[in-house]
Each structure stands twice: as C-alpha cells, then as structure tokens.
Amino acid sequence: MIRFILGRLIKAVFILLAILVFNFLLIHAAPGDPAAVMAGEAGAADEKFLADLRANFGLDQPLYVQLWLYIKGAVQLDLGYSFRQQMPVAEMIGDRLPATLLLTGVAFVLSLVLGVAAGVAASARQGRWGDTIISTFALLFYATPLFWVALMATLVFSVWLEWLPGFGYSTIGAGYTGLAHVLDVAKHLVLPASTLGLFFTAIYMRMTRASMLEVSRLDFVKTARAKGLSRGVIQRRHILRNALLPVITLAGLQAGQIFGGAILTETVFAWPGIGRLMFEAINQRDYNVILGVFYISAAMVLLFNLITDVIYVIVDPRIRLTT
Amino acid sequence: MFKTTKLTAAVLALALAGPLAAQDGTPKAGGTLNVVIQPEPPSLMIGLVQNGPTQMVGGDIYESLLRYDFDLKPEGQLAESWEISEDGKTYTFKLRKGVVFHDGEPFTSADVEFSMDKFLRETHSRMRTYMEHVESIETPDDYTVVFKLKQPFGPFIGIFEAGTAPMIPKHIYEGTDFANNPANNTPIGTGPFKFDKWEKGSFIHLVKNEDYYMEGKPYVDEVYYHVIPDAASRAVAYETGKVDVLPGGSVENFDVARIQAMDNTCITDKGWEYFGPLSWMWVNNDNKPLDDVKVRKAIMHGIDREFAKDALWNGLGKVATGPLSSSTRFYDGDTPDISYDPDQAKALLAESSYNGETIRILGLPYGETWQRWAEAVKQNLSEIGMTTEIVPSDVAGWNQKVADRDFDLAFTYLYQYGDPALGVSRTYMGDNAAPGSPWNNVADYQNPETDKLFDAAALMASPDDRMAAYKTIQDKIVEDVPNIWLLELGFPTIYRCDVKNPVNTAFGVNDGFRDVWIDK
C-alpha cells in the first residue's frame, strides 16, 4: 500500500510538471497580454506606458526564460506575483480559498448524501410513482443550466419572497461577530450551495439508481435473498456497497474540483471564491494567477484520484493496487 | 419588441426631463452610501491606473486643483483661484490653505510640482503628452504654483481633474519606485473620503475624512463599493436595497426600464460631459475595398443608428454627427449629412469598388448590448447588399486584434476629455497611425490638411481661432468618413431619489461623493 502511494506520488509530480508547462504555453498562446489589457482599460496609452508595464511584469524576457523562472518558482511552491493586483499569488489564493472551500465543500457533501439517498430510494421503488417523481426531478435538475437555476433561485427567494440574500458572502458593513456572523454567512450560503449542489445531486442520484439496479440482478443478491436476509440488509450490505464504486469515481472527480471553485455559481452570487478569481484573471491575462489556480487544482485532482483509488480497496477488497 | 422599447424610451425621456436632484433642501449629515463598482479595480492608486473603476473610487480619495461643471467650466478644488496670462503661456494657481493629506501632512505647492513634474510624467501616458507643452513649473511660495508653457496650449486649463492630474503626496512617493511602492495599497490623498478596507472580491470601504477642508463636508459617514460580477445580480442588488447607486454601465440596458420604474428611483445621463464617450466603428482604411470612400459612405448611410439608440440603448445618448461629441469644446453640429439612408447607401455601393467581399466586423466584448449592436449592424449591411461576418473575441483578444489592425470594421468607444486636442486629434493624425496601439489612428486616416490644422489649433491662444480651425477639420473629416461614427453614448446613473447630488460635475460619480447627502 505504502509503496503504491509513494509510486503514485512520484508519478504525480511529473504529471504536474507536464500540466504546468502545457498550461503556461496555452495561456501565452492566447492573444493579448496583461499589459495590453491594463492599457486597454485606461483607454489611452503610449509606447512607454506599455513598455514600463511589460518590463515590470517580466514580459519583456523571452518566453523560455519566463517559463524557466515560473517552473523554478513553482517547484519551490512559489506561485509568483500578480503585478496587476500588486500581491503574491499565494496570498490571493489563500484569501479566496476559505470561501470556495465552504461553498464547494457544502455543495459536495449535500449532493453526495442527497444524491445517494435519493438513488437508493428510487431503485427500491423501481417503476413505481416514487421512482418516477425522484427520477423526473433528477432529470430536470440535470438538464437545466446552472446559471438559469441560479438566477431563478435569486428571483424567487431573494427578490420575491425576500427570505434569503441573493448574493455576497456576508452582510457588508453589518459588523457581525461570533454566532451572528456564522448565521449570516450560512444564510448567504444557502442559495449558491444548493444551486451548485442540485446538479451534482442529480448526477449522483441517476448513477446510484442505475448501479443499484444493475447489482440487484446479480447472482449473489439472489443467494442473499435465498438465505432469507431481510430486504434492508440486502439493500445496504450487499447491493449498495457494490453499487457505490462508480459513485466513488465520480465523487473523486468532484472532490478534485472543490479547490478549483465554481466559476458560474460564484459569479452569479458574487461569492468571493477561487473560480471567480480565475475567471477574472483569464480575462485580464493575469498569467501568474491563472497558472497558480491551475496548479492548485491540478495538484488536488491528482491527490483525490489517489485517494479515490485507495477508497476502492477499502470498499471492495477484490481490487488490488498495482503501480 | 420595438413597440415596448419605444415606450420605454418615452418614459425615460420624461424621467430625464424631470428636475435633476438639485441642491434641494438642507443637507443632512450621516448615513452610509452603497455603490456598485464594476469591474473590480486592479488598484486604487489613481496616478498609476487610469481605468474607470479606479477613477471612481480614487475620485473620493484623490483630488486635483480644479473640477468642471456640466459645461466644462472650471471650479476651484484644491486651487482657490487661478489666472491665465494674456499670451496664454503662464498659468498661476493659488492653492487653498489648511489642506492636509489623510496622514496629516500639509498639502503644498511642492506636492503639485512633484505630482505633475515627477510622478505623472513618469506613470501617466496622457499627462506625459500634456506636460510636453510645459517649459517650467515654479513654486514661489507654499501656496502658489506657476506653470510656464512653451507655447499657448488651449486645452491646458482642462487637465486639472482627479483622473488626469491627481495630487499625490510627495512625502510618501519621492525617491521611491512609484509602481511598486507599498503605499499604493493604502492610498493617501486629500479627498473627502479616506481608504479603510478592501476585501478583494467583495467590497471597498471608505470612511469620512473628518479633517476635510470644506466645512461640514462630506455629509455621509462611509461609502461601500460593492463588487458584484454579474450584471443581473447587480440589478437584483439595487432591487433588494443592497445598493443605492448604480453608476453608468452597471446593469444591462434592457434592465434599465424595469429598475427605473421602481419607487424612489431617479436616473440621470449627466456626468459624462468631460468624457464625451463617442462610439464608432474603426474602418481599416488600408484594406480593400474599404479604402474606397464610396464604400465607407455606403456603410455610414446604411446603418440605422436611431434604431440602435432606441432598441439597444433605451433611447439614451445621441446619434453622432461626426468625430466630436456634442459636449466636447468646439463641437460643430453643422457638418455634412451622414444620416440613415439605405437607398443612397445602395446607390453608393453600386458605384463603388465593392464586389461582394466578406467584411469582418469585430464587436466590442463589453456585454450583451454591444454584441446585439454588432448583430444589428450586420443586418443593416446585409440589407444594402454587403456580406459580413462577426468575429468573436474577449477583451484581451480585441485589444490585440485592433492593435495589429486585424479587422475590417471594429466597434470601439473612446473618451474625448473635453477638448479635441486632448481626445480627438489622436484618432485622426496621420503620424499617429503606427500599428501596436488600439487607441491611436487605428483606421490609418491620412490627410495632411487636417493634420496641419490639428497641430495649429492646439496651440492657438484665441478660442475663436480654435473654433474656426476645428470647424474646418470636422467638415473635412466627415467628408472622408474614415470611421463610421455611431452614438454619443448615454450611460445612465441610477440612484435612490433620497440620495442627493450623486452627479453634479462633468465627471459624475467619478468626481467623488463630496456633496452627496442622504435625505432620510
């Protein structure tokens, strides 16, 4: 097991490096650079202004030098500096990470629990009205674009009913502390987290249901039934445990994205998270910030893939780890 | 669709005709002002960054010697009085006494000299060109500044506003690397509000400057600038009462009618006179068949700009008559006719060298309105028999394509800074056409006659002489149609009616909230 993990970690480092180089080249292939964007926003600029900015940003050096400097920094976990924002990238990401983790984490747990529960419930009632209702809702949420759900949720719960704040992380200027602050943030979290969670809930539900039905037709389930085990025990211990493997795969993928943030949800709800930071950085060609977010997300995806593989072994002892 | 927009246009016109929040009632002190800021500025140091949001927040923190009313007439700000010599070459400013920076240091003529001569000359592209005209700056005492010009430069009196010539504390910046001074993150000026806190991605918080030199001002205790990235959410923020002021461009135009129908909601399109934002399509005059003036004229007459104004801009703004905005000095309304006339357009096209080539239209990636506008132009041009395609891009890509001259027609809009010598000549001067910049003479318009006139008009001492020169220039340029002028853009500022005076200079909300009070 330890050998497996070490082997994978070593591989991961090389994959990460390859991703970094690829991202770097990709982002520099896009037209325009941060200096041109900043000058563009000013609406007027002369040669000196652009040259000063480029020199300041290090963009006047050949591309391979810039790449080498970036990789050298990245290996030492130095993510560089955002010249646009006059801040180290690590600090910027650190500022935004808590908000993102809260949003994506809550959405992740919510969707996993709800999705699996709904999937189990639907499969147990296959073909009956309970199944139909759950499946219909799942299909609806699966097929509806996220931004539309977000806008409608704001319209209904924030504008019409005035139950929940429509955007933001906390009430600005209220100066809440302690429990009041926690409650305030929780209130602001409801709409974005459920919007983001609904989509994944639908996916987990559909996957769990399909997988449960597939497993329930296998011979060992018949055997269990023949042994006289109760319906509940068969569902939980025999079917669910075996049906969970594809769900775990998917959860591993979603977990990797937790650190990458949710661009759409964060934008519509003005949630000050990583996704928005990255999206704005892309528009502004703030290279170091984009690469920094990519770096962190890539590392997290690799890490969670590894964790997923380890969980497989725990859930299904038939699986053996080989590097 | 068309019917309703006509209606909203009428409603809007009515609302705009109503009394503008003038100095009604006695100002009340106190309260919090909540304002939308979009997009989030990269920095608040207005001497280093000249984009819109930086100016909006920076305009509360920093000040200049003057400010300008809706007719661009100067008013004193940090200067108490000023004098221009007969020959137009000496400008003498008397500064206010008892002004201090937010850190308590006094503001004196040394700061003026430092800001203009050292700081802005180094960091500010526009100021760099304006300062070319300055021979010397003298500071005979702490409260007098004398600018000696090399030759008369008419627009000079128009550059002393916070976005162009902010007063920067010498004691903080002298001898430092301006761009990387850590003080840039905690901006210090003389303005009515002090910087308090910036939670990136959420809000910027300014508090009242208790030591402000104007008795009783500012009235409000604090200002929150809310960062809300999505246009629909910004509309919701106003509707749910989270913000009270939506500066121009905060919400999509199609939401304006709905929002302004709300109770206690006022709207004004004033406060843009200095900028005079004029939109046009760059025409690549070097590309065939656009090098043919008949093709350009056909496009000009083939575009229904009234429709764009009513349907896309809610009836706000004005149809442009030529290269100058009507709020810019020396505007001449009596230029050759360029109005919508599809029949004339077809006739011109038939006589021209156009043979069905596909014309590439580069839209401006600034949101829905601009995208629809490109589609409307495509439609108009297909009606007169031209084949076009719309090229998609994002902001950085747009900049690059325009700088590289990789387009046939490209939407843009630019500020005019109140004077043709500051904001218009750059677009038409023949020697300012080198590729690499998206703001110079991108169209590559070459006309030695107007070049000469532009050069001369900037340096004339008498306004009457300047008017005569600019009148000829406008006639000539409109005759040549180097660009397709669209609209003088109208950006409505929407605010709660009990917020008084949010817009009372030619800079609107960019001039800070010095005079704002809340009637509650």
pLDDT tens-digit map of B111-127: 999 999 999 998 888 89
Q: Grade residue B14 by pLDDT with cuts at 50, 70 and 90.
A: very low
Check if the beta carbon of residue B125 is closer than 8 Å to that of residue B154.
no
The pair of structure tokens assigned to B460 is: 């004339």
State the Cα–Cα distance between residues B170 and B139, nearest whole angstrom: 14
Nearest-neighbour CA in chain B from A278: distance (Å): 12
Place of tokens 């596909």: B358
* pLDDT tens for each residue of A229-280: 888 888 888 888 888 888 888 888 888 777 766 888 898 888 998 888 988 8
Same domain as A169, residue A53: no
Place of tokens 């007459």: B301
Q: pLDDT at residue A44 above 90?
A: no
Q: Grade residue B24 by pLDDT with cuts at 50, 70 and 90.
A: low
State the Cα–Cα distance between residues B134 and B117, nearest whole angstrom: 9
Number of domains in chain A: 2
* pLDDT tens for each residue of A288-310: 899 998 888 888 888 888 888 88
Same domain as A277, residue A141: yes
Q: pLDDT at residue A40 above 80?
A: no
Q: Count of CB atoms within 10 A of residue A219's CB?
A: 7
- A28 in a structural domain: yes
The pLDDT, as a whole number, for residue B502 is 93
Q: Are strands B134-141 and B90-95 parallel, antiparallel or unpaired?
A: unpaired
Q: Which residues pair with B386 in a beta bridge?
A: none
Q: Cβ–Cβ of B51/A30 closer than 8 Å?
A: no
What chain A residue is nearest to B124 in terms of C-alpha separation?
A49
Nearest CA to B366 out of B260, B489, B262 is that of B489
State the Cα–Cα distance between residues B201 and B199, nearest whole angstrom: 6
Q: Cβ–Cβ of A280/B39 closer than 8 Å?
A: yes
Average pLDDT for B423-436: 90
Q: Cβ–Cβ of A86/B126 closer than 8 Å?
A: no
Check if the beta carbon of residue A9 is closer than 8 Å to that of residue A306.
yes
State the Cα–Cα distance between residues B136 and B117, nearest whole angstrom: 9
Q: Cβ–Cβ of B399/A268 closer than 8 Å?
A: no
B93 vs B400, more confident: B93
Q: Grade residue A58 by pLDDT with cuts at 50, 70 and 90.
A: confident
The pair of structure tokens assigned to A42 is: 């000013």
Q: Cβ–Cβ of A158/B230 closer than 8 Å?
A: no
Residue B208, H or E segment = strand B203-208
Average pLDDT for B473-493: 95
Nearest-neighbour CA in chain A from B227: distance (Å): 7
Mutate to test the interface with B, among A81, A82, A86, A285 (most CBs of B within 10 A): A86
Q: What's the Cα-to-Cα distance from A71 to each of A23, A55, A226, rounded to whole Å?
A: 11, 20, 61
Check if the beta carbon of residue A297 is closer than 8 Å to that of residue A255.
no
3 state SS of B517: strand
Say which of B184, B228, B393 has its CB closest to residue A270: B228
Q: Cβ–Cβ of A85/B200 closer than 8 Å?
A: yes
Q: Provide, as residue numbers in chain B, all residues whose Cβ is less than 8 Å from the Cβ of A167.
A: 228, 230, 233, 236-237, 242
Same domain as A162, residue A227: yes
DSSP for residue B19: P
Q: pLDDT at residue B3 above 50?
A: no
Q: Cβ–Cβ of B396/A32 closer than 8 Å?
A: yes
- A26 in a structural domain: yes
SS (H, E, C) B262-303: CCCEEEECCCCCCCCCEEEEEECCCCCCCCCHHHHHHHHHHC
- A94 in a structural domain: no
Q: Grade residue B264 by pLDDT with cuts at 50, 70 and 90.
A: very high
Q: Grade residue B15 by pLDDT with cuts at 50, 70 and 90.
A: very low
Q: In what order do the strands lie in the sheet with B483-488?
A: B318-319, B483-488, B278-283, B409-414, B358-362, B387-391
Residue B484 dihedral angles phi and psi, to the nearest 5°: -100, 100
Same domain as A152, residue A277: yes
Nearest CA to B102 out of B181, B38, B194 is that of B194
Among residues A89, A119, A136, which one ends one of the domains?
A89
Same domain as A46, residue A194: no
Q: Cβ–Cβ of B233/A166 closer than 8 Å?
A: yes
- A95 in a structural domain: no
The pLDDT, as a whole number, for residue A323 is 54
* pLDDT tens for each residue of A169-207: 888 877 788 888 889 899 899 989 988 888 889 999 999
Same domain as A114, residue A85: no
Which ranges constitute the DSSP H helices of B51-182? Answer: 52-61, 109-113, 120-123, 125-131, 170-173
State the Cα–Cα distance between residues A49 and A65, nearest whole angstrom: 23
Q: Cβ–Cβ of A172/B237 closer than 8 Å?
A: no
Nearest-neighbour CA in chain B from A264: distance (Å): 10
* pLDDT tens for each residue of B56-82: 999 999 999 999 999 999 999 999 999
Q: Cβ–Cβ of A42/B125 closer than 8 Å?
A: yes
State the Cα–Cα distance between residues A101 and B319, nearest whole angstrom: 49
Residues in chain A: 323
Q: Cβ–Cβ of B200/A168 closer than 8 Å?
A: no
- Is this complex's ipTM strictly greater than 0.95? no
- A321 in a structural domain: no
Q: Cβ–Cβ of B400/A32 closer than 8 Å?
A: yes
The pLDDT, as a whole number, for residue B346 is 95
Same domain as A217, residue A195: yes
Nearest-neighbour CA in chain B from A203: distance (Å): 27
The pLDDT, as a whole number, for residue B170 is 96
Q: Which residues pair with B84 in a beta bridge?
A: B91
Nearest CA to A59 out of B253, B197, B396, B415 is that of B396
Q: Cβ–Cβ of A272/B199 closer than 8 Å?
A: yes
Q: Provide, as residue numbers in chain B, all residues whose Cβ is less than 8 Å from the Cβ of A158.
A: 236, 240
Nearest CA to A114 out of A49, A201, A56 is that of A201
Check if the beta carbon of residue B156 is closer than 8 Å to that of residue B133.
yes
Q: Cβ–Cβ of A37/B395 closer than 8 Å?
A: yes
Residue A148, H or E segment = helix A146-153
Same domain as A129, residue A55: no
3 state SS of A214: helix
The pLDDT, as a whole number, for residue B466 is 94
B106 vs A32, more confident: B106
Say which of A43, A154, A284 has its CB closest to residue B236: A154
Check if the beta carbon of residue B213 is closer than 8 Å to that of residue B106.
no
Among residues A89, A117, A132, which one ends one of the domains?
A89
Q: Provide, as residue numbers in chain A, all residues whose Cβ is less than 8 Å from the Cβ of B435.
A: none
Q: Cβ–Cβ of A168/B232 closer than 8 Å?
A: no
Q: pLDDT at residue B22 above 80?
A: no
Q: pLDDT at residue B207 above 90?
A: yes
What chain B residue is nearest to A33 in terms of C-alpha separation?
B396
DSSP for B345-377, written as a single string: HHHHHHHSS--SPEEEEE---SSHHHHHHHHHH
Q: Cβ–Cβ of B201/A33 closer than 8 Å?
A: no
Nearest-neighbour CA in chain B from A284: distance (Å): 7
Say which of B40, B185, B403 has its CB closest to residue A86: B185
Residues in chain B: 520
- A165 in a structural domain: yes
Q: Count of CB atoms within 10 A of residue B274's CB?
A: 29
Say which of A47, A86, A284 has its CB closest to residue B43: A86
Q: Grade residue A314 by pLDDT with cuts at 50, 70 and 90.
A: confident
Residue B422, H or E segment = helix B420-423
Residues 6+ apart with CB under 8 A from B213: B96, B98, B99, B100, B190
Q: Grade residue B20 by pLDDT with cuts at 50, 70 and 90.
A: very low
Q: Cβ–Cβ of B224/A173 closer than 8 Å?
A: yes
State the Cα–Cα distance between residues B202 and B88, nearest whole angstrom: 48
Nearest CA to A71 out of A30, A32, A22, A9 is that of A22
State the Cα–Cα distance between residues B395 and B402, nearest whole angstrom: 11
The pair of structure tokens assigned to B274 is: 């200095």
Nearest-neighbour CA in chain B from A145: distance (Å): 16
Angle, to 10 degrees, between the axis of helix B231-239 and the axis of helix B253-260? 10
Maximum separation of any 2 CA atoms in chain A, in Å: 84
The pLDDT, as a whole number, for residue B7 is 39
Residue A72, H or E segment = helix A63-75
State the Cα–Cα distance between residues B342 and B362, nearest whole angstrom: 22
Same domain as A274, residue A194: yes
Q: Cβ–Cβ of A86/B226 closer than 8 Å?
A: no
Nearest-neighbour CA in chain A from B193: distance (Å): 16
Same domain as A172, residue A50: no
DSSP for A128-140, written as a single string: SHHHHHHHHHHHH
- A129 in a structural domain: yes
Angle, to 10 degrees, between the axis of helix A63-75 and the axis of helix A287-315? 40
Question: Sign of the CA dihedral A228, A232, A233, A235?
Answer: positive
Whether the bond between B39 and the residue before it is cis, its omega within 30 degrees of 0, is yes
Q: Provide, as residue numbers in chain A, all residues whose Cβ is less than 8 Å from the Cβ of B52.
A: 41
Q: Provide, as residue numbers in chain B, all residues whose Cβ is less than 8 Å from the Cβ of A146.
A: none
Range of the domain at A15: 2-89
Check if the beta carbon of residue B278 is closer than 8 Å to that of residue B426.
no
Same domain as A219, residue A174: yes
Nearest-neighbour CA in chain A from B343: distance (Å): 36
Average pLDDT for B26-44: 91
Q: Grade residue A146 by pLDDT with cuts at 50, 70 and 90.
A: confident
| Domain at A260, CATH number | 1.10.3720.10
Q: Cβ–Cβ of A173/B426 closer than 8 Å?
A: no
Say which of A99, A172, A268 has its CB closest to residue B230: A268
- A71 in a structural domain: yes
Q: Are strands B66-68 and B74-76 parallel, antiparallel or unpaired?
A: antiparallel
Nearest-neighbour CA in chain B from A52: distance (Å): 9
The pLDDT, as a whole number, for residue B428 is 95
Q: Provide, as residue numbers in chain B, all residues whose Cβ is less than 8 Å from the Cβ of A86.
A: 43, 180, 184-185
Same domain as A153, residue A235: yes
Q: What's the Cα-to-Cα distance from A101 to each of A96, A109, A118, B478, rounded to whole Å?
A: 9, 12, 25, 57
Place of tokens 């506003």: B161
The pLDDT, as a whole number, for residue B9 is 41
Nearest CA to B39 out of A169, A88, A261, A279 is that of A279
B161-188 core/surface letters (b: 16 or more CB in 10 A; e: else): bbbbbbbbbbebbeeeebbeeeebeebb
> pTM for the full model?
0.87
What chain B residue is nearest to A52 in terms of C-alpha separation?
B123
Among residues A42, A65, A89, which one ends one of the domains?
A89
